[in-house]
């Protein structure tokens, strides 16, 4: 098997296009198409799904691409050792971050990271979707909540509780009620692909219960939900780290303190690699330390 063909395959997989790979490699598209066809024949399986506009990896193609990445990692590691193992890490680092965390904290963290590692080019994607790391060429992702088994490495790096929170002016107009009377108040809920907007799981008095709610409003963005609650429109179930700046000034208040929502856990997700590139290793160390130092992400 020609190792160059495996390299061609990796580039096509990354670019999701024979034409883009042809331009990058300076190799005719017809040659690339023939080489990949020969590779698939040699392996006895299809690696790419081809359409008129782009290509995508088959299930086997994803596995082969992962192996090609490992080969590239070994190569990069050899080069790094040969040049100088103490040299600064470099290259493009692609990271997927939840939107709320990214907007509230990640910008200042990434400025600090860039000062420490100026040779690493950060490519940050703010997204609450659970993208496929391999297909989207993502080096690391930060994800919230329970994770499905995926064969990826998962490292817990932070946690924060969810509290029932309202504006101070809202609390003046509505007297506290029992938890069973929650639906007597206007509720503002988050509704996403991962979170149902009409059900809250609350823990209090030693047990957890699911509460069916009738929200006055539903929204798919936590910061927008926060703004609605700040305007006195109702009660939201909000992560502590999101509400903390306004809790400290008493603009927002925690109500029914005997109850809280599920703890939001943050996990760092990345592919298992025998020879992890230094750019990934230093980022894992950096972001883990900053999550530990952030008090609003370690409460509860």
**Model pLDDT, residue 86:** 52
Same domain, 73 and 96: no
Lowest-pLDDT range, 24-33, 102-111, 127-136, 166-175? 127-136
Domain containing 53 — which CATH number? 1.10.10.10
143 and 210 part of one domain: no
What is the mean pLDDT of the segment spanning 25-33? 88
Residue 87's pLDDT is 63
**What percentage of residues in the chain have a pLDDT greater than 70?**
91
Which DSSP string do the residues of the chain spell out, in sequence order?
--HHHHHHHHHHHHHT-HHHHHHHHT--HHHHHHHHHHHHHHHTS--EEE-SS-EEE-HHHHHHHHHHHHHHHHHHHHHHHHH-TTSPP-EEEEEEE-HHHIIIIIHHHHHHHHHH-TTEEEEEEE-SS---TTTTT-SEEEEES-----SSEEEEEEEEEEEEEEEHHHHHHS----GGGGGGS-EEEE--SSS-TTEEEEEETTEEEEEE---SEEES-HHHHHHHHHTTS-EEEEEHHHHHHHHTTTSEEE-STTEEEEEEEEEEEE---TT--HHHHHHHHHHHHHHHH-GGGS--
pLDDT at site 282: 93
Give tens-digit pLDDT for 115-162: 999 999 999 999 888 778 878 889 999 988 766 656 788 888 888 899
DSSP bridge partners of 166: 253
Answer yes or no: do 167 and 255 share one domain. Answer: yes
Q: What is the pLDDT of residue 227?
A: 97
278: tokens are 């230094």
- Shared-domain flag, residues 111 and 171: no
Higher-confidence residue: 163 or 68? 163
In this prediction, residue 130 carries a pLDDT of 79
* Residue 299 confidence class, pLDDT cut points 50, 70, 90: very low
Q: Are residues 228 and 244 in the same domain?
A: yes
User: Within this chain, do residues 154 and 271 fall inside the same structural domain, yes or no?
Assistant: yes
List the one residue out of 124, 121, 137 whose CA is nearest residue 96.
Answer: 124
End position of a domain, from candidates 55, 83, 111? 83
pLDDT at 185 over 60: yes
| Residue 174 contacts residue 261 (beta carbons within 8 Å) | no
Q: Do 100 and 144 fall within a single domain?
A: yes
Residue 22 structural domain:
3-83
Number of separate domains in the chain: 3
User: Do residue 153 and residue 140 come from a single domain?
Assistant: yes
pLDDT band at 238 (very low <50, low <70, confident <90, very high): very high
Over the chain, what is the mean pLDDT?
86
Q: What is the pLDDT of residue 300?
A: 43
Beta bridge partners of 91: 120
Higher per-residue pLDDT: 203 or 144: 203
pLDDT surpasses 90 at 113: yes
Write the pLDDT tens digit of every residue in 250-265.
999 999 999 999 888 8
What CATH number did the domain enclosing 284 receive? 3.40.190.10
133 with 255, same domain: the answer is no
Any idea what the CATH number is for the domain that residue 241 is in?
3.40.190.290
| 275 and 152 both lie in a single domain | yes
* Other Cβ atoms within 10 Å of 16 Cβ, number: 17
Query: Which pLDDT tens digit goes with each residue over 66-86?
Result: 888 877 777 766 665 655 455
Determine the Cα–Cα distance for residues 226 and 132; give it in Å rounded to an integer: 29
242: pLDDT strictly greater than 90: yes
- Does one domain contain both 259 and 170? yes
For residue 164, count CB atoms less than 10 angstroms from its CB and return exposed for 0-12, middle for 13-18, buried for 19 or more: buried
pTM, 2 dp: 0.67
Give how far Cα 108 sits from Cα of 9, 102, 104, 157, 266, Å.
Answer: 37, 9, 9, 18, 18
Cα pseudo-dihedral 117, 77, 271, 92, rounded to 10: 40
22 and 107 both lie in a single domain = no
């Amino acid at each position: 098997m020609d190792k160059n063909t495996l390299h061609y395959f990796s580039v096509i997989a990354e670019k999701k296009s024979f034409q883009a790979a042809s331009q990058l490699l300076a190799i005719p598209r017809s040659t690339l198409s023939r080489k990949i066809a020969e590779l698939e024949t040699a392996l006895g399986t299809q690696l790419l799904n081809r359409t008129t506009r782009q290509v995508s990896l088959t299930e086997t193609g994803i596995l082969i691409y992962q192996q090609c990445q490992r080969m590239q990692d070994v190569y990069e590691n050899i080069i790094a050792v040969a040049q100088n193992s103490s040299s600064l890490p470099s290259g493009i680092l692609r990271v997927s971050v939840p939107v709320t965390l990214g907007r509230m904290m990640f910008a200042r963290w990434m400025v600090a990271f860039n000062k420490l590692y100026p040779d690493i080019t950060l490519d940050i994607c703010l997204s609450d979707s659970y993208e496929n790391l391999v297909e989207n060429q993502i080096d690391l992702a930060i994800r919230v909540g329970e994770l499905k088994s995926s064969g990826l490495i998962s490292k817990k790096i932070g946690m924060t509780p969810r509290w029932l929170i309202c504006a101070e002016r809202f609390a003046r107009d509505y007297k506290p009620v029992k938890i069973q009377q929650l639906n007597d108040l206007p509720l503002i809920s988050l509704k996403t692909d991962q979170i149902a907007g009409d059900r809250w799981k609350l823990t209090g008095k030693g047990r957890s219960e699911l509460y069916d709610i009738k929200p006055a409003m539903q929204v798919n963005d936590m910061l927008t939900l926060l703004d609605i609650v700040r305007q006195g429109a109702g009660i939201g179930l909000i992560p502590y780290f999101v509400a903390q700046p306004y809790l400290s000034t008493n603009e927002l208040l925690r109500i029914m303190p005997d109850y809280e929502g599920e703890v939001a856990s943050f996990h760092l997700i990345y592919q298992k690699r025998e020879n992890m590139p230094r750019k990934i290793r230093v980022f894992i160390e950096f972001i883990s330390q900053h999550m530990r130092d952030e008090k609003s992400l370690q409460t509860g």
